[in-house]
């Protein structure tokens, strides 16, 4: 492969799986020497109209921002072949969180408007509180609308809204599920999907950093946004997010994602690293292993990273009872999410040649997989058993602390 990945192929349960140079290793080696991966560093002229939160405007597609061989972008890239490069929109990483939120807070949120209506019509007859009750009702309606948005992501949205970059015709295909807006909240529906096509020549990249709030804190997250330029006015007519996100304000991965897209569209699939085999088959055991603290060290390289995995795994273990909600939500997501259908484009534009070298690389790894996969399944079962036993021990200790020895 020209300009391809330089990392070695490693073994997964005895089976060779491409995993090449790790992203964190690449960033540690090249971040400080690449002017596009530091702040303020290199920057292009801001696009018009300006975009809020932009920390870097990347150059036109014909200009490279990373001269070295690229690491694989496994969290963003869903598929690579000679026909197209497919990226996630980040929806897939939000669905199980939305399901967990719906299960936890749904009943509570739905009680808000009921309580507000009861206060207005059947509460104590106090005119001074009438305005407060109306405000409570309005807040309740907005809270319900916000919850409906989360619920629609959890159970109505498709598994993802991917974006495909086609080198052959230099087009970008954006898949969007149909949705409506109520009180400014995006609500997904069952009414199909929409596919929008853009010319790659009109695309520019912007790295955007935004503060994202959570239940008890706020943090920075970085996104790569694609800006569509009107050739006549040279103004941006549309912007949308591409790929997943980098948390805690580290934007370097978004620069690497842009270079991955740019290099694929300029040089083809042989210029970017292949994807790894997907090891989640949608089975419940796979979902358990995804969050299993006893499995986390096995997915990390040796040294400091494995030590950090042990520490993080210990934190997950301490909250195992609650983590099982995440396991259940992930399994529900996989079992209920609507599949993405590209329709006629699968035959006319995205039809893959059986001789595609990128596909053959993955097929070769799959053919070698059975023996190694059997060992991996056995490991997952053992890890799940250890986690289950440890949770029982946790519950016994909690019972002992609350009720004391007299309860036994």
Residue 214: predicted pLDDT: 45
Contacts of 85 (CB under 8 A, 6+ apart): 77, 79, 164, 165, 167, 260, 261, 264, 265, 269, 272
Q: Taking a C-beta distance cutoff of 8 angstroms, is the pair 312, 296 a contact?
A: yes
Greatest CA separation for the chain: 81
Task: List, in order, residues 6 or more apart from 101 with CB less than 8 Å away.
Answer: 150, 154
> Which of 196-205, 206-215, 337-346, 353-362 shows the lowest mean pLDDT across its residues?
353-362
Asked if residues 87 and 175 have their Cβ atoms less than 8 Å apart, the reply is no
Q: For the CA atoms of 398, 404, 407, 408, what is the dihedral angle to 10 degrees?
A: 80
pLDDT, mean over the chain = 80
Give the DSSP per-residue string, 336-398: HPBPP--TTHHHHTSPPPTT-HHHHHHHHHHHTHHHHHHHHHHHHHHHHHHHHHHHHHHHHHH
Report pLDDT digits (tens) over 77-110: 888 888 999 998 878 778 888 898 888 888 888 8
Measured distance CA(223)–CA(87) in Å, rounded:
13
Q: Model-level pTM greater than 0.75?
A: yes
Distances (CA, A) of 73 to 85, 176, 189, 291: 12, 22, 31, 21
Place of tokens 């907005």: 142
In percent, the amount of the chain with pLDDT more than 70 equals: 80
Residue ranges per domain, the chain? 99-155, 279-336+368-408
* Segment 277-293 mean pLDDT: 82
Give the distance, in angstroms, between the CA of residue 208 and the centroid of all CA atoms in the same chain: 16
Tokens representing 192 are 């199909």
Separation between Cα atoms, residue 333 and residue 153, nearest integer Å = 10
Report whether 3 contacts 67 (CB < 8 A).
Answer: no
Q: What is the DSSP letter of 319?
A: T
Q: Which of 17-21, 73-77, 86-90, 301-305 has the lowest mean pLDDT?
A: 17-21
CB 227 within 8 A of CB 236: yes
C-alpha to C-alpha distance for 13 and 74, rounded to whole angstroms: 19
Q: Assign 250 a pLDDT band (cuts: 50, 70, 90).
A: low
Q: Tell me which residue of 34, 90, 56, 351 sits closest to 240, measured CA to CA.
A: 90
pLDDT digits (tens, 9 = 90+) for 212-242: 654 344 567 888 999 999 999 999 999 999 9
- Cα–Cα distance, 193 to 340 (Å, whole number): 9
Residue 188 sits at φ, ψ, to 5 deg, of -75, 150
């Amino acid at each position: 492969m020209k300009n391809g990945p330089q990392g070695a192929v490693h073994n997964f349960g005895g089976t060779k799986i491409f995993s090449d140079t790790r992203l964190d290793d690449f960033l540690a080696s090249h971040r400080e020497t690449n002017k596009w991966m530091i702040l303020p560093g290199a920057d292009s002229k801001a696009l018009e109209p300006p975009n809020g939160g932009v920390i870097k405007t990347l150059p036109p597609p014909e200009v490279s921002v990373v001269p070295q061989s690229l690491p694989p972008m496994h969290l963003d890239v869903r598929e690579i072949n000679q026909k197209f490069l497919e990226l996630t929109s980040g929806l897939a990483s939000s669905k199980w969180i939305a399901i967990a939120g719906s299960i936890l807070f749904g009943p509570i949120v739905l009680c808000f408007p009921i309580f507000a209506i009861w206060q207005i019509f059947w509460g104590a007859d106090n005119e001074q509180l009438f305005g407060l009750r109306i405000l409570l009702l309005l807040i309740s309606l907005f809270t319900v609308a916000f919850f409906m948005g989360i619920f629609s992501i959890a159970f109505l949205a498709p598994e993802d809204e991917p974006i495909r970059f086609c080198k052959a015709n230099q087009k970008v295909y954006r898949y969007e599920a149909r949705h409506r807006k109520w009180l400014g909240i995006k609500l997904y529906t069952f009414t199909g999907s929409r596919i929008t096509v853009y010319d790659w020549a009109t695309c520019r990249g912007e790295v955007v950093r935004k503060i994202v709030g959570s239940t008890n804190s706020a943090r920075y997250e970085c996104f790569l946004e694609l800006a569509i330029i009107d050739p006549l006015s040279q103004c941006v007519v549309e912007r949308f997010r591409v790929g997943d996100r980098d948390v805690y304000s580290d934007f370097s991965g978004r620069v690497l994602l842009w270079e991955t897209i740019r290099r694929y569209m300029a040089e083809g699939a042989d210029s970017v690293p292949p994807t790894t085999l997907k090891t989640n088959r949608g089975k419940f055991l796979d979902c358990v292993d995804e969050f299993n603290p006893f499995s986390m060290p096995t997915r990390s390289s040796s040294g400091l990273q494995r030590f950090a995995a042990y520490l993080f795994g210990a934190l997950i273990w301490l909250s195992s009872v609650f983590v099982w909600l995440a396991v259940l939500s992930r399994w529900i997501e996989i079992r209920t999410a609507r599949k993405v259908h590209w329709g006629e484009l699968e035959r006319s534009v995205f039809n893959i040649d059986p001789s595609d070298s990128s596909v053959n690389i993955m097929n070769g790894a799959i053919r070698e997989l059975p023996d190694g996969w059997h060992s991996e399944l056995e490991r997952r079962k053992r890890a799940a058993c250890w986690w289950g036993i440890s949770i029982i021990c946790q519950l016994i200790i909690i019972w002992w602390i609350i009720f004391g020895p007299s309860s036994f």
